[in-house]
Amino acid sequence: MKIKENAINKYLILLLSISALLRGVLASVIEFGNDEVYYWTYALYPDWSHFDHPPMVGLMMQLFSCNLLFTSEFFLRLSSVIFMTINTYLVFLIGKQVKNEQTGFYAALLYTASIYAFVITGIFILPDTPLSIFTFLAVLQFIRYFQNEKNKHLVLAGLFAGLAMLSKYSGVFVWVGVGLYVIFYSRKEFKNPFLYLSALISAVCMIPVLMWNINNEFISFTFHGNRVGFFGEFHPEYFLAELLGELAYNNPVNYVLTIIALVALVKGNKFISDMPKRLILCLTLPLIILFWFFSLTRQILPHWTSPSFVLLLIFVAAQLSDKYEIKDNYLVIPKSIIASLSVLLFVLILGVAEIKTGFIPLNFSERSKTIQRYGEGDFTLDMYGWRKIKPEFQEIREEIISKGEMKESDGMVALKWYPLANLDYYVAYPLGIDMYGFRNPGEIHKYAWINKERGDLKLGEDYWFLTESFDYYEPNKYLKPYFKEIIPTDTITIERCGKPAKYVFVYMLKDLKKMPTTWFEEKKTP
């Protein structure tokens, strides 16, 4: 593919438009995953912070859904569709600042091909969505400041870095990177009062999160502190899983190209002799190295390092622009970028087809073929079948209520943050049923607070309990000590392409006789 240099902006607009359209369609046809629907509760019950993340993702949902006036998957994901479009343009600008428009355009193409960027932050609504846009905005302003030393860029960078931290705690690595750059390459900045003003602005952004945690026993920091650590038993398989996960999340082609680019950095110091490249290295490598270190002893989610890997694509783009110089006023699109985009397209087609049809069997164990565990191991069922539960359960519920066995006001319980949020969004909330979590915050997360908002569980009351075969919870094992009677009522079959995909088991929980101990009660205990 060849395009004229002066037409790069036109093709960039075309890239942004096609990408946004495709992601918008996918955002409307794919059901929420476990994480996404859980973050819907952040918008439903906004707070200064939440159990496991700062509040920004919930605020974005509120903003783009007009304060939950529109509650479909599309509108709740709309900020992701829009932000990824803006992010692609920001990546173009960063690449342009680093070298030239050719580098920027290559970087935009590579960023679009990233599965993390296109899907995780561009379709799904996760804390990574606002994290990405505010991180890119901060990086762009820091680059502009160090290039022209205009303090307005430094002030803006501090604001955007603060908003990144208000999106996800890992946003603090923006300041870690800038601090390292100043220490190693620009110590004169320690004399600039605007550097401290910028850091102060970021810190002020985090005051609501800090105050919330002070009032809640620093539970967010405790939770994340238990997920990572410097010490523990060595597990090389965790590290291998992390690398393979990074390979998948970032697009295998992009990942290999990034490694090649980093090797080139090691071999040629001249390549990192200028400021933007040094700054990007300081911004990216600490996060990657730290989580690689954590992965030696703990299971780390592979997308945690992806914000760094997408920034490193700038180096790939710069190298490709050296290799494919503009000749005769034409720009060549490298085969490696075409391959990367092809991988993305293949993953999208395969992923959507698998979610909608299940044509590739993913439940291999014998246990997964029994009715109570049917579909177990098929991760695509995270995003399939939830919409079908409501009409079936509504019919069962109405019939039982008509017989006087349950009341209209009876709530529903679940035992973990997922499927708590899934059942809440797709079943309980539309039917006007209060949904409650029934275990400690480590299991139910924000529902420990939602329970209080909804008036909490009450002794003597009856509740519904739904559990699906994909992630089955035996009610007698977990709930028998708390209720006088547990009565199975019916089983809902969720079909995919005319065949059972999973089952949903419906139970009546009669007469709550004992309240589960909540974190709020535990913290009062001397």
Q: What is the pTM of this model?
A: 0.94
In-domain check, residue 140: yes
In-domain check, residue 192: yes
Report the alpha-carbon distance of residue 489 to residue 507 in Å, rounded: 5
In-domain check, residue 361: no
Q: Does position 526 have pLDDT exceeding 60, yes or no?
A: no
In-domain check, residue 259: yes
Domain boundary among 353, 386, 403: 353
373 and 349 within one domain: no
431 and 344 within one domain: no
pLDDT digits (tens, 9 = 90+) for 95-134: 999 999 999 999 999 999 999 999 999 999 999 999 999 9
User: Contact at 8 Å (CB) between 376 and 363?
Assistant: yes
Domain boundary among 302, 324, 353: 353
388 and 306 within one domain: no
417 and 268 within one domain: no
Report the alpha-carbon distance of residue 347 to residue 113 in Å, rounded: 10
206 and 168 within one domain: yes
342 and 423 within one domain: no
> Domains in the chain: how many in total?
2
pLDDT digits (tens, 9 = 90+) for 27-61: 999 999 999 999 999 999 999 999 999 999 999 99
- Secondary structure element (H or E) that encloses residue 4, with its range: strand 2-4
Indicate the SS3 state at residue 53. Answer: coil
306 and 426 within one domain: no
459 and 337 within one domain: no
191 and 57 within one domain: yes
pLDDT digits (tens, 9 = 90+) for 455-506: 999 999 999 999 999 999 999 999 999 999 999 999 999 999 999 999 999 9
Percent of the chain predicted with pLDDT > 70: 95
157 and 264 within one domain: yes
Can you say whether residue 68 is alpha, beta or left, with left for phi > 0 and alpha for psi between -120 and 50 degrees?
left
In-domain check, residue 108: yes
331 and 380 within one domain: no
Domain boundary among 353, 379, 401: 353
Q: Which domain holds residue 431?
A: 367-522
268 and 411 within one domain: no
pLDDT digits (tens, 9 = 90+) for 175-226: 999 999 999 999 999 999 999 999 999 999 999 999 999 999 899 988 888 7
In-domain check, residue 359: no
321 contacts: CB under 8 Å, gap ≥ 6:
99, 100, 102, 103, 106
The 3-state DSSP composition of the chain as helix, strand, coil percent (nearest 5) reads: 65, 10, 25
